Amino acid sequence: MTRRWAGSSTLTRGVMNATALADVQPAAPQKRQRRAMILDAALVIGSEGGYDAVQMRKVAERANIAVGTLYRYFPSKVHLLVSVLGRQFERFDASHNWAVTGATPHQRLRRVVDRINDEWQRNLALTEAMTRAFVFADTSAAEEVAHAANVFEGMLARALSGGEPREEQHDIARVICDVWLANLTVWLTRRVPAAEVCQRLDHAMRLLVGDDEHSKI
State percent of the chain over pLDDT 90: 59
15 in Cβ contact with 146 (< 8 Å): yes
Dist. CA 212–CA 82, nearest whole Å: 34
The region, left, alpha or beta by phi > 0 then psi within -120 to 50, assigned to residue 76 is: beta
pTM: 0.81
- Whole-angstrom distance, CA of residue 116 vs CA of residue 197: 13
What are the tens digits of pLDDT across the range 189-203? 888 887 888 888 889
Nearest to 139 by CA among 24, 38, 5: 5
Q: Which fold has domain 77-209?
A: Tetracycline Repressor; domain 2 (1.10.357)
Distance of CA 129 to the CA centre of its chain: 12
Q: pLDDT of 67-118, one tens digit each?
A: 999 999 999 999 999 999 999 999 999 998 888 888 899 999 999 988 888 8
